[in-house]
């Protein structure tokens, strides 16, 4: 690769150790550099003096502030910005993966299924960004990375806010974007008419190229391409690739409509159409296949315990066991009535144990109920934990081939003893021995998610849902993985299922609000947030939210409500220990970190992450990968890299 100009290398010296030039275009130059402040390799985008002058430092600073808040699994985050000489620059993480440009140049057209997956990731990113008031304006294959099985949209640094009224980042008449992917309104240079549908046009152009191996329009120069976007007929994919499904061809054509009003209204609408084209099997269908493969059978087995020597209590013990276990599964997620359910489950399981005292299944199930009673604050935690451990060890001694006891031990290692690898080994062993145990599949899926093995986690969660479709806990597990993958629109259905089976499941309602917001489904997000506040009895906040939505719109109203929530949480943290497990495996500090992340207050969030690490070092991995925020936003703080290196979690430095 070419070396960067000497003046840039010299001018940036001190903060950045420039290594090489990664690319160059009409907007500027991209450099690979080592950021000495953040102690990591970064991609440095230096705008040309002409673009920098047209943008202006003040407007650039405002836009960068907006863009820095875009933290999403499918968006390459922005770390920092500045100015060198007459050129503005911004800093992004260096992604050591192929761009779509490199893939298309090497492979030509891609498989339809892969195009659907890539496009869905991009539509997710756009739905989120547009909901935050940002328009990318330069969506092209060069700005999309294929990394670890996911499409990442980069270069939001020149995004245009669509919330600021008539004043925009560029002067009217300046064309910003790449000629092969410009929308007609961009080609005409009228930046006042740009909104999210501009990005959807570019998405259509990218889809066309991924499916056919060539862009929709060709020209001898940039001007001829600009004219083609405005005046030339929209091409159909099937003329170059007859095997493409007609509904996919129609979607591409719809996205590339000349007039904005003739395109899909939002990226969320595009996502719905992509999902229907992809026609992915339902979670239940996929889970059936997963379980069948694990068992080597055509259909999943019926999860009934054996009646033999261990079940000396006979059918009465078996009936009590089933009643207690079923009630426990409905109480695992907490909420109203949890204590009564857990106590009832305990009574039934103690009856079963009295009839069959050497039964490892009953011992394990009862140990879990006793432990959760302590965790939820309904019994002394130390006493409950010791009693549960004693019962698990007895069950293990009776039968170490019984999968559920390994699952129970693994959960204790993972969530309470901060033994991540030991927890994973036990949870994996539990699934190997008892693949028909839904809770075991669900909990191993949670470990896989924390470990970053998301496709495996998704398979386990789908298996759990199939095995126990009436347990809200299973549906939330599936949604958790989809959210971590950035597939927020897909997470909505499992969360609604969780609430259907457990109307009081507060965590499901919170996740539903977040997923609807990030998928760009504002009306549904508002309804979920109102329900969340209403069930807490926070009628004043709900009224304030409604008033702000009416006067300022959803995004501003949500931010104001989050700031109110933050104030309340910080006040609570002054009254009680925020780093103590209370009524579950999560802490008050976790809630504070998530809200700060939602607000884009990354320095303050890092303050809390660091404090939490100092209190309980072994919990750091979970703080970063088991909460509902994209921890990569923390990378703007120099402490982040140092903390991960100190904790031995170097792999989390990568996007």
**Rounded Cα–Cα distance for residues 419 and 359 (Å):** 27
What beta strand segments (E) does 62-193 contain?
80-84, 87-93, 98-99, 134-135, 144-147, 150-153, 160-161
Q: 605: pLDDT confidence band, cut at 50, 70 and 90?
A: very high
Which pLDDT tens digit goes with each residue over 294-326?
Answer: 444 433 443 445 444 445 567 788 999 999 998
pLDDT at 389 over 60: yes
User: What's residue 157's pLDDT?
Assistant: 67
Q: Which of 51, 14, 57, 52 is nearest to 33 (CA)?
A: 14
How many beta carbons lie within 10 A of that of residue 85, not counting itself?
12
pLDDT at 7 over 80: no
| Between 259 and 651, the higher pLDDT residue | 259
Q: What is the DSSP string of 75-87?
A: B----EEEEETTE
Which pLDDT tens digit goes with each residue over 348-386?
Answer: 999 999 999 999 999 999 999 999 999 888 998 889 999
* H/E segment holding residue 601: none
Q: 520: pLDDT confidence band, cut at 50, 70 and 90?
A: confident
pLDDT at 430 over 90: yes
Which pLDDT tens digit goes with each residue over 438-458?
Answer: 999 999 999 999 999 999 999
Which pLDDT tens digit goes with each residue over 177-202?
Answer: 688 999 999 888 766 678 899 999 99
User: What's residue 165's pLDDT?
Assistant: 38
Does 489 qualify as catalytic in the annotation? Answer: no
| Between 305 and 538, the higher pLDDT residue | 538
Q: What angle do CA 144, 268, 109 make, to 5 degrees?
A: 40
Tell me: do 82 and 221 sit in the same domain.
no
Average pLDDT over residues 276-283: 59
Task: Identify whether the C-beta of residue 430 lies closer than 8 Å to the C-beta of residue 437.
Answer: yes
Tell me: do 110 and 257 sit in the same domain.
yes
User: What's residue 397's pLDDT?
Assistant: 95
The backbone region for 453, taken as left when phi is positive above 0, alpha when psi lies in -120 to 50, beta otherwise, is: beta
Q: Which of 152, 158, 126, 134 is nearest to 45 (CA)?
A: 158
Residue 346 lies in a domain: no
User: What's residue 177's pLDDT?
Assistant: 64
Residue 318 lies in a domain: no
Structural domain ending residue among the three candidates 51, 73, 93: 93
Tell me: do 87 and 102 sit in the same domain.
no
Tell me: do 104 and 221 sit in the same domain.
yes
Q: Residue 325 is encoded by which pair of tokens?
A: 């276990």
The sheet carrying 144-147 orders its strands as 98-99, 144-147, 150-153
User: What's residue 583's pLDDT?
Assistant: 64
Query: Of the given ranges (121-135, 323-337, 533-547), which has the lowest mean pLDDT?
Result: 323-337
Tell me: do 237 and 119 sit in the same domain.
yes
* Number of domains present in the structure of the chain: 2
Residue 230 lies in a domain: yes
Which pLDDT tens digit goes with each residue over 558-586?
Answer: 999 999 999 999 999 999 999 988 767 78
Q: Directed axis angle between helix 112-131 and helix 488-501, to 10°?
A: 80
Identify the domain containing residue 34 by its residue range: 6-93
Catalytic residue (choose from 80, 138, 155, 480)? 138
User: What's residue 401's pLDDT?
Assistant: 94
Name 509's Cβ contacts closer than 8 Å, sequence gap at least 6. 499, 528, 531, 532, 535
Helix (H, G, I), strand (E, B) or coil at 132: coil
Which pLDDT tens digit goes with each residue over 479-504?
Answer: 999 999 889 999 999 999 999 998 98
Average pLDDT over residues 84-109: 90
B/e letters for 311-323, b = 16+ CB within 10 Å, e = fewer, are bebeeebbebbeb
Tell me: do 106 and 38 sit in the same domain.
no
Pairing, β 134-135 against β 80-84: unpaired
pLDDT at 290 over 60: no
Residue 112 lies in a domain: yes
CA atoms within 13 A on the CB side of 568: 10
Longest CA pairwise span in the chain (Å): 86
pLDDT at 209 over 50: yes
Structural domain ending residue among the three candidates 60, 93, 126: 93
**Rounded Cα–Cα distance for residues 417 and 409 (Å):** 10
Task: Identify whether the C-beta of residue 427 lies closer than 8 Å to the C-beta of residue 456.
Answer: no
User: What's residue 482's pLDDT?
Assistant: 95
User: What's residue 56's pLDDT?
Assistant: 81
Tell me: do 189 and 68 sit in the same domain.
no
Residue 363 lies in a domain: no
**Rounded Cα–Cα distance for residues 346 and 323 (Å):** 10
Tell me: do 151 and 210 sit in the same domain.
yes
Q: What is the residue whose two structure tokens read 């949890």?
A: 338
User: What's residue 238's pLDDT?
Assistant: 95
Mean pLDDT value across the chain:
87
Tell me: do 259 and 120 sit in the same domain.
yes
> What's the distance, CA 483 to chain centroid?
4
Structural domain ending residue among the three candidates 235, 252, 278: 278
Give just the sign of the alpha carbon dihedral 178, 182, 185, 191. Answer: negative
Which pLDDT tens digit goes with each residue over 148-160?
Answer: 888 999 988 665 5
Task: Identify whether the C-beta of residue 156 lies closer than 8 Å to the C-beta of residue 199.
Answer: no
Residue 242 lies in a domain: yes
Tell me: do 121 and 212 sit in the same domain.
yes
Tell me: do 191 and 222 sit in the same domain.
yes
Residue 564 lies in a domain: no
Give just the sign of the alpha carbon dihedral 493, 634, 136, 214. Answer: negative
Q: 279: pLDDT confidence band, cut at 50, 70 and 90?
A: low
CA atoms within 13 A on the CB side of 73: 23
pLDDT at 253 over 90: yes
pLDDT at 2 over 60: no
Tell me: do 103 and 241 sit in the same domain.
yes
pLDDT at 609 over 90: yes
The CATH number given to whatever domain includes residue 170 is: 1.10.510.10
The CATH number given to whatever domain includes residue 53 is: 3.30.200.20
**Rounded Cα–Cα distance for residues 208 and 454 (Å):** 29
Beta bridge partners of 134: 161
Q: What is the DSSP string of 245-268?
A: -HHHHHHHHHHT-SSGGGS-S-HH
Residue 80 lies in a domain: yes
């Amino acid at each position: 690769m070419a070396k960067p100009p000497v003046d840039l290398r010299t001018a940036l010296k001190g903060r950045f150790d420039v290594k090489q030039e990664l690319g160059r275009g009409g907007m500027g130059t991209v450099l690979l550099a080592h950021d000495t402040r953040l102690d990591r390799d970064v991609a440095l985008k230096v705008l040309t003096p002409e673009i920098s002058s047209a943008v202006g430092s003040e407007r650039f600073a405002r836009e960068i502030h907006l863009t820095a808040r875009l933290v999403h699994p499918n968006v390459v985050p922005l770390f920092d910005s500045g100015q060198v000489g007459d050129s503005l620059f911004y800093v992004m993480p260096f992604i050591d993966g192929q761009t779509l440009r490199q893939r298309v140049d090497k492979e030509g057209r891609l498989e339809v299924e892969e195009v659907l997956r890539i496009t869905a990731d991009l539509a997710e990113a756009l739905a989120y960004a547009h909901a935050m008031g940002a328009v990318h304006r330069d969506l092209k294959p060069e700005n999309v990375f294929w990394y670890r099985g996911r499409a990442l949209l980069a270069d939001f640094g020149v995004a245009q806010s669509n919330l600021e009224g008539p004043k925009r980042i560029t002067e009217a008449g300046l064309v910003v974007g790449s000629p092969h992917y410009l929308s007609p309104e961009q080609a005409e240079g009228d930046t006042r008419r740009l909104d999210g549908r501009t990005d959807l046009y570019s998405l259509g152009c990218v889809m066309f190229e991924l499916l056919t191996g060539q862009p929709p329009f060709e020209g001898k120069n940039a001007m001829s391409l600009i004219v083609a976007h405005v005046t030339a007929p929209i091409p159909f994919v099937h003329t170059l690739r007859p095997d493409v499904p007609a509904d996919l061809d129609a979607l591409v054509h719809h996205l590339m409509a000349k007039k904005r009003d003739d395109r899909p209204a939002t990226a969320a609408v595009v996502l719905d159409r992509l999902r229907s084209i992809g026609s992915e099997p339902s979670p239940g269908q996929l889970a059936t296949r997963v379980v069948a493969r694990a068992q080597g059978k055509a259909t999943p087995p019926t999860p009934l315990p054996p009646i033999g020597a261990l079940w000396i209590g006979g059918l009465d013990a078996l009936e009590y066991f089933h009643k207690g276990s079923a009630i426990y599964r409905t109480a695992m997620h907490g909420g109203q009535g949890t204590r009564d359910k857990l106590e009832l489950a305990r009574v039934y399981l103690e009856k079963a144990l009295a009839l069959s005292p050497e039964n490892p299944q009953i011992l394990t199930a009862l140990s879990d109920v006793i432990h959760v009673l302590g965790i939820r604050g309904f019994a002394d935690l130390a006493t409950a934990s010791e009693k549960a451990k004693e019962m698990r060890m007895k069950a293990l001694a009776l039968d170490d081939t019984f999968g559920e006891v390994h699952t129970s031990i693994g959960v204790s290692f993972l969530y309470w003893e901060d033994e991540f690898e030991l927890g994973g080994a036990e949870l994996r062993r539990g699934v190997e021995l008892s693949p028909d145990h839904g809770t075991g599949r669900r909990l191993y899926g949670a470990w896989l998610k924390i470990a970053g093995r998301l496709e495996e986690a998704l398979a386990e969660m789908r298996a759990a849902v199939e095995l126990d479709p009436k347990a809200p806990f299973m549906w939330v597990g599936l949604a958790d993985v989809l959210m971590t993958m950035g597939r927020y629109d897909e997470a909505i259905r499992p969360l609604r299922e969780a609430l259907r089976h457990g109307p009081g499941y507060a965590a499901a309602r919170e996740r539903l609000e977040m997923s609807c917001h990030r998928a760009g489904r504002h009306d549904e997000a508002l309804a979920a947030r109102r329900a969340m506040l209403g069930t807490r009895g926070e009628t004043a906040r709900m009224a304030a939210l409604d008033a702000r939505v009416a006067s300022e719109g959803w995004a501003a109203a949500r931010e104001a409500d989050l700031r109110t929530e933050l104030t309340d949480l910080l006040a609570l943290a002054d009254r009680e220990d925020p780093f103590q497990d209370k009524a579950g495996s999560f802490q008050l500090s976790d809630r504070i970190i998530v809200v700060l992340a939602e607000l884009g207050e990354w320095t303050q969030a890092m303050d809390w992450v660091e404090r939490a690490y100092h209190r309980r070092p072994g919990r750091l991995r979970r703080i970063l990968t088991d909460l509902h925020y994209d921890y990569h936003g923390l990378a703007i703080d120099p402490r982040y890299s140092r903390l991960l290196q100190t904790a031995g979690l170097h792999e989390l430095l990568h996007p």
